[in-house]
Amino acid sequence: MKQFRWFLLFIIFVLAMPGVPVRSAESGIDLPIQTRAAAVRIHLGLNVSDSALVPSRQGSSTIYTNDEFRIEVAEYASKPRSIVRVQIHHLTDSDFTLNGFSVRLKISKDSFAGIWFPGSDVSSKTMMSAGPERAFEGIADANFGIPYAGAVNSKGRTAAALGMGHQNMPVVLSGNPLDNGQYELELRVTATLTGKSLDERFYVSNDSSSTWFDTAANYTDWVDGYTGYKQFPISATAYEPLYDTWYWSGDRVNQDLYLKTAELAAEVGARLFLADSGWDAPNGEYDKWLLGKTGDYKPPADKFPNLPATFEQIRSRFGMGIDLWLQPFAVGRESERYASTKNMHIQIPMNFNSVIAWSGVTREPVASPIGGNLETVNLCPRLNTTVTYLKNLFAEMENQYKPQGYWLDFIDGMATYCVAGHRHTYSTFGDGFKRSLDAIKSTVLASNPNAIVHFRARYANLFTKSFANIWQSEDSPGSYDQMRLNALRLRPFSKGVVFAADELFWPIGTPDARIAKFIMTSVMTGVPAFGANLLYATESERAMLKAWLAFYQENREELVKGKFSPWGSSIEVPNHKIEGKSATYAYIRNLDSTELIAENNIVYLMNATINTAMTQNVRLAAGSPAYTATILNRYLTTQPGTIRVTPNAAGLLTFRGAVEEGGIVILKPALP
């Protein structure tokens, strides 16, 4: 969502219960479990009788029983993780109520330097969310974040990681420093569940031989298998560079602006044009939300006399595909569609307790009072009528505009809790949300099997991954550092989708050295995307864009499909590299003594630092006894002279030389 950022504060009361399973002050039971990875404590919000649970062993499982329940806890351990499965059966064969449950893990404060989780806010200075002496709180839900938290040591290795299996429930993530030199991580499912049984699994790791990035990727592999992830088909269109005017035009766009900027974008090498918010309504409507006309998707005649024809000109004259912006669940009260959707909107209580579920955006004018509740701009996905509405909406868009793809917005702005008077077709938000997204996916692919669908953080997550083929980081206008750090935290969960950069924007008058790093960062983060004002761009800006997009296209297979990993001595702002089949591409944000380990004999050292004097140690794949270093400036023009560099006896090469900010050093084996 373009102009909102959130950081939720939750007060979580943590009670660590020693000893054997007993009733706790939280109205439930605690089960201490010693896994291979770490000791954990499972809390189950069960209203049990006073009789104690009796533990017994059965193979690799521990069984707890009393007159009412049979609880089985089993561990499945393999490097680098332990998977713990918890099954609850009511022995009377009647329904029981579970008032949430949680998993807790204690680690030494000395064992880690930072904690991160993918749904938290990120600054331009650190990707960590907390440290050993600082608490944190956050939430994950079906349309927001991922129920996973990781503690990282000073070398970037895993100190601890904790993640839930199912991705469709509200989970509060928290961390608290304790007085005894320990720190407690907790994942707490807040939903009240009713049924005859429960089956849940969670992930635990403390494998310090694995980086924080690789541990999160391992968790992702497990979740994808556990939840039955199915990949959204990926076409070549997903890898094309994108241009968008939003960050400088807002929704004040028209036919003339689209045609002029599309021509300029095509000249520098962009191949997708994002028709962002503004094509769909009069100027200023975006900010009105529930009180406006959003949801009509009818371009005003004074802005776009014939939008389908405008799109066709962009395609035929400039060779650019159309990426169409929609916020598909949102309908304003002034929209023509509201007459048929007014009973379909999510409603939440006036004083909604956001620990119960993700509250979405609740402030005016996204939500507004109706009766005793707040009506939100979004339709409730728990209704079958919403599923039908979405099918019809996307069939209409396909028929009228024939876009090459969709940039879907504001999905993380939806509350996952609804008290409206309508009767829910689906029992949970997760179930209805999944059916709604599937309706969009099936409708789009039926019309265009090569279509692309963009999701961005934080609704790009492990629950929604089957319904998009492009992920990108959260909005970060004006900060390439913030965009990249956002991307680093989302990237390990992205197996199966194409990763793209946010459409970076820099103000008019930005120095060329800084512009070059905006462009370099976009190319090295994923499929590049840009949002600078090309109408007033200088010749040098356009030259840099054109050169870097040509570099991207020339090395596209390696840049977007190579192995991506962070490296360096900083866990707050790490460097990163991409290992392709023939070359290693290293993005250097910090110059430090850490050596770059390259799997190839051709290495690109990209200077994203604030220095023009570069010293970098590189351990190359075994091969040549000598290397040449070719320096390119920020326009990717080869500079005069070639430096010859010889590795030492241990195979370590040290490059020292002058490189422009935004320039590249290319290391290659020297010819005989």
pLDDT greater at residue 566 or residue 5: 566
Spatial separation of the C-alpha atoms in residues 666 and 298, rounded to whole Å: 50
Q: Would strands 321-326 and 405-408 be described as parallel, antiparallel, or unpaired?
A: parallel
The percentage of residues in the chain with a pLDDT greater than 90, rounded to a whole number, is 83
Q: Are residues 194 and 259 in the same domain?
A: no
Residue 237 inside a domain? The answer is: no
Provide CB contacts within 8 A for 33, sequence distance 6+.
39, 40, 41, 42, 62, 73, 75, 84
**What integer is the mean pLDDT of 58-83?**
90
Say if residue 7's pLDDT is above 70: no
**Which of 553, 573, 600 is the endpoint of a domain?**
553
What pLDDT score does 179 carry?
94
Q: What is the pLDDT of residues 619-644, one digit of tens each?
A: 988 777 899 999 999 999 999 988 99
What pLDDT score does 142 carry?
97
Say if residue 242's pLDDT is above 80: yes
Q: Are residues 450 and 577 in the same domain?
A: no
In order of 68, 224, 391, 610, the CA distances from 497 in angstroms are 45, 12, 23, 32
Q: Three-state secondary structure along 170-213? A: CEEEEEEECCCCEEEEEEEEEEEEEECEEEEEEEEECCCCCEHH
In order of 33, 82, 113, 454, 579, the CA distances from 209 in angstroms are 23, 15, 16, 34, 20
**Which of 194, 226, 258 is the endpoint of a domain?**
226
**What integer is the mean pLDDT of 553-577?**
97
Say if residue 180's pLDDT is above 90: yes
Q: Are residues 219 and 253 in the same domain?
A: no
pLDDT category at 36 given cuts 50, 70, 90 is confident
Q: Which of 414, 15, 415 is nearest to 188 (CA)?
A: 15
pLDDT greater at residue 466 or residue 351: 466
Which amino acid, one-letter code, is at 602? I
What pLDDT score does 344 carry?
98
Spatial separation of the C-alpha atoms in residues 583 and 600, rounded to whole Å: 5
Q: Are residues 523 and 470 in the same domain?
A: yes
CA angle (660 as vertex; 657, 662 as ends), nearest 5: 125
**Which of 488, 518, 553 is the endpoint of a domain?**
553
What is the length of the chain?
A: 672
* DSSP conformational letter for 597: E
- Torsion on CA atoms 578, 581, 583, 589, rounded to nearest 10: 0
Find out whether 292 and 306 touch, Cβ atoms under 8 Å: no
**What integer is the mean pLDDT of 413-429?**
96
Residue 11 inside a domain? The answer is: no
* DSSP conformational letter for 581: S
pLDDT greater at residue 4 or residue 131: 131
| CB-neighbour burial class of residue 564 (10 A; exposed 0-12, middle 13-18, buried 19+) | buried
**222 forms bridges with which residues in the sheet?**
none
CA angle (528 as vertex; 527, 529 as ends), nearest 5: 120
Q: Which of 37, 31, 18 is nearest to 75 (CA)?
A: 37
Q: What is the pLDDT of residues 249-262, one digit of tens each?
A: 999 999 999 999 99
10: its two tokens: 């939750």
546: its two tokens: 């054109």
**What integer is the mean pLDDT of 431-440?**
98
In order of 189, 322, 505, 522, the CA distances from 515 in angstroms are 44, 26, 9, 11
Rg for the chain, CA atoms, rounded: 26
Q: Are residues 534 and 406 in the same domain?
A: yes
639: its two tokens: 């500079």
Residue 68 inside a domain? The answer is: yes
What does residue 468 show for φ and ψ, rounded to 5 degrees?
Answer: -145, 155
Q: Are residues 250 and 172 in the same domain?
A: no
Spatial separation of the C-alpha atoms in residues 562 and 583, rounded to whole Å: 9
Find out whether 71 and 198 touch, Cβ atoms under 8 Å: no
CATH number at residue 662: 2.60.40
Q: Are residues 534 and 652 in the same domain?
A: no
Residue 197 inside a domain? The answer is: yes
Strand ranges (DSSP E) for 301-404?
321-326, 345-349, 367-370, 373-379
How many domains does the chain divide into?
3
Q: Are residues 99 and 211 in the same domain?
A: yes
Which amino acid, one-letter code, is at 211? T
Order of strands across the sheet that contains 373-379? 345-349, 373-379, 367-370
**273 forms bridges with which residues in the sheet?**
243, 322
**Assessment of whether the complete model's pTM goes beyond 0.85:** yes
Q: Are residues 272 and 132 in the same domain?
A: no
Say if residue 440's pLDDT is above 80: yes
Q: Are residues 119 and 36 in the same domain?
A: yes
Find out whether 46 and 158 touch, Cβ atoms under 8 Å: no
For the chain, the farthest-separated pair of C-alpha atoms sits apart, in whole angstroms, at 84
Spatial separation of the C-alpha atoms in residues 43 and 319, rounded to whole Å: 58
Sole residue written with tokens 């912006």: 325
Spatial separation of the C-alpha atoms in residues 320 and 529, rounded to whole Å: 13
Provide CB contacts within 8 A for 17, sequence distance 6+.
24, 30, 32, 41
Which amino acid, one-letter code, is at 669? P
Residue 232 inside a domain? The answer is: no
Residue 602: domain span: 563-669
Q: Which of 616, 170, 206, 168 is nearest to 426 (CA)?
A: 168
Inter-helix orientation angle 512-525/480-490, to 10°: 10
CATH number at residue 485: 3.20.20.70
Sole residue written with tokens 């019309």: 447
Sole residue written with tokens 């592999």: 221
Q: Are residues 474 and 602 in the same domain?
A: no
pLDDT category at 477 given cuts 50, 70, 90 is confident
Spatial separation of the C-alpha atoms in residues 135 and 208, rounded to whole Å: 22
Residue 453 inside a domain? The answer is: yes
Spatial separation of the C-alpha atoms in residues 166 and 152, rounded to whole Å: 24
Spatial separation of the C-alpha atoms in residues 327 and 322, rounded to whole Å: 16
Residue 250 inside a domain? The answer is: yes
What does residue 413 show for φ and ψ, rounded to 5 degrees?
Answer: -85, 0
What pLDDT score does 51 carry?
57
| CB-neighbour burial class of residue 164 (10 A; exposed 0-12, middle 13-18, buried 19+) | buried
pLDDT category at 403 given cuts 50, 70, 90 is very high
Residue 338 inside a domain? The answer is: no
567: its two tokens: 């490296």
Q: Are residues 500 and 574 in the same domain?
A: no
pLDDT averaged over every residue in the chain: 92
Tell me: cis bond preceding 132? Omega within 30 of 0 counts.
Answer: no
